[in-house]
Structure 1
Amino acid sequence: MTEKRRGRPCKPRSLSVSPELDAFLDMLMAERGAALNTRQAYERDLMDVSRWLAQRGMTLEAAGTEDLRAYLAHLAHADAAPAPRTVARRLSALRQFYRFLVSEGRRTDDPASALDSPKQGRPLPKVLSEAEVLALIDTARSRGGPEGTRLVALLEILYATGLRVSELVGLPLSAILRDGRGLIVRGKGGKERMVPLSDPARDAISTYLPLRKDFLVPERETLQAKFLFPSRTSDSGHLTRQRFAQILKDLTVAAGIDPDKVSPHVLRHAFATHLLDHGADLRSVQKMLGHADIATTQIYTHVVSDRLRRVVAEHHPLARRKAGG
């Protein structure tokens, strides 16, 4: 029968869950308002530690710092080692559990207080290949009509400039320089920057502008008039981020590309990475992306380095000879 504790439903208590752990999990729900899913996640993490300790004749409640260090070392060297984020979450659960035991007077020391957090590193951005980006643009162009022409313009601008999606969809008509060679973009903190447009992006804008009127409606024209990409329905008067992301997902499927790989922000990553691939300097890429700190831009150098290492490993004759013995 399912128990009810403190007015919240919970699953039947497992025989392997100790009273101390059960009390900690109840506290999460009663005092911190944790959801049942959160309770179950903490239970899974702490029971994993408990089972490993039990195999070595130790209980979770009595474990010392060295026991916990040995467990973390076991995770790091396991054949299917969990991701650093998973280890960090598990360590957080341990720290909270032992703090609870100390606060309740069930232990006088906290064995998790001396443990170091694992280095999580910074996840590398997803990147599309140049061929995949071109496939997206070609697929959009094949649609024709106002919708397809607008989509080509959106993609060409995004790939030519690396704009944030909010900057892209909210571009005013006045952002286009008089000579058409660039855009004045207002980014985070209201800071303006000039970004150049590629020839394909300029051509796409020129082709789209005569069709822009198809996205205007008389009763909303005052709201829509200033935007490069007006919307017939949005409260803002311009195409929304959410709508553009939805259109892009549909396009990705039509282009035969894994939709999990593609988002507006991934195209921003592609812009930066492909520029660096072709020899652009990091400072110029930083300015075009609108990064306040060049350290943010440097993440793309890791993507390029990883790609170059794979190219060498796969195509360099010495690397192939070594791999083949």
Structure 2
Amino acid sequence: MGHSHYDPVIQNRPAWNVGKAVGTKRPLTQKQIWAVRFFLDREGRLRDRALFDLAIDSKLRGCDLVKIKISDLISGEDIRTRAIVTQQKTGRPVQFELTADVRASLLQWLGARRGAVSDFAFPSRVDDGGHLSTRQYARLVDEWVSAIGLRRAEYGTHSLRRTKASMIYKATGNLRAIQILLGHTKIENTVRYLGVDVEDALVLSERIEI
């Protein structure tokens, strides 16, 4: 269920990635996205469906995703079509879109969650007033991908961050747009993050006939 940072045992806990294979995580395919959604809907997990959907659309790092507040997502009584947050890693703002299906799942969750606009959208269950921890978010992602038959070692929170960005890149080849959407300061970081290589460049080039 996650641990409060006030819990003294947390000081002696090993790093989250001890003994785990750490590296580039695969993005999800469209089919896998809908498989996770079907699983979460079947189980009636409103919070998890909203969290999953928001992770895909926002393309945020886990540390930024879990800190989103209700005020970041709503305008009046409606869910925003676009939102903006300041990234913890860079200190720079990044914008993202909220598509219709995602707005619907967020509206359903926030209606059940209630709370003030200043509250976190995804509250902690162990720290009153706190937000869902990145550790718990990672555990949830492990659970989601396992539920649809994927290997945990190959997928993680960055899979959700990379998913839509990878789809946009494959559709457009526009690295600058992806850089902006991911909030990267350098385009070289975007190239590495997407795993762009010579084969990708050749495929894009082959689409253009002169």
Which TM-score applies when normalising by structure 1? 0.49
Structure 2 vs 1, CA of residues 272 and 280 (structure 1 numbering), >3 Å: closer, same or farther? same
**1:128, 1:261 within 8 Å by CA — same for their partners in 2?**
no
**2:122, 2:131 within 8 Å by CA — same for their partners in 1?**
yes
Q: Which of 114, 118, 127 in structure 2 is aligned with 1:234?
A: 127
Distance 1:195 1:274 in 2: 15
What code does the residue aligned with 1:250 have?
Answer: E
Q: Which of 214, 230, 254 in structure 1 is aligned with 2:147?
A: 254
Give the secondary structure class of the aligned counterpart of 2:96. strand
Structure 2 vs 1, CA of residues 308 and 280 (structure 1 numbering), >3 Å: closer, same or farther? closer
Which TM-score applies when normalising by structure 2? 0.73
Matches for 1:106-121 after TM superposition, within 5 Å: none
Which sections of structure 2, spanning at least 5 residues, go unmatched?
A: 1-22
In the alignment, what sits opposite 1:158? 55
In the alignment, what sits opposite 2:19? none
Structure 2 vs 1, CA of residues 161 and 138 (structure 1 numbering), >3 Å: closer, same or farther? same
Structure 2 vs 1, CA of residues 141 and 241 (structure 1 numbering), >3 Å: closer, same or farther? same
Distance 1:256 1:286 in 2: 31
- Superposed displacement of residue 132, structure 1: 1.7
**1:132, 1:257 within 8 Å by CA — same for their partners in 2?**
no
In the alignment, what sits opposite 2:10? none
Cα distance per residue 1:49-92 (max 9 Å; x no partner)? xxxxxxxxxxxxxxxxxxxxxxxxxxxxxxxxxxxxxxxxxxxx
What code does the residue aligned with 1:302 have?
Answer: V
Which sections of structure 1, spanning at least 5 residues, go unmatched?
A: 1-122, 313-325
Give the secondary structure class of the aligned counterpart of 2:90. helix
Matches for 1:1-325 after TM superposition, within 5 Å: 125-144=25-44, 148-176=45-73, 178=75, 180-187=80-87, 188-213=89-114, 226-234=119-127, 237-279=130-172, 281-299=174-192, 300=194, 302=196, 305-306=199-200
- Bigger RCO of structures 1 and 2 (CA < 8 A, at least 6 apart): 2
Give the secondary structure class of the aligned counterpart of 1:237. coil
Cα distance per residue 1:6-55 (max 9 Å; x no partner)? xxxxxxxxxxxxxxxxxxxxxxxxxxxxxxxxxxxxxxxxxxxxxxxxxx
- Indicate the RMSD between aligned Cα atoms, in angstroms: 2.8
Give the secondary structure class of the aligned counterpart of 2:196. helix
Count of equivalent residues:
177
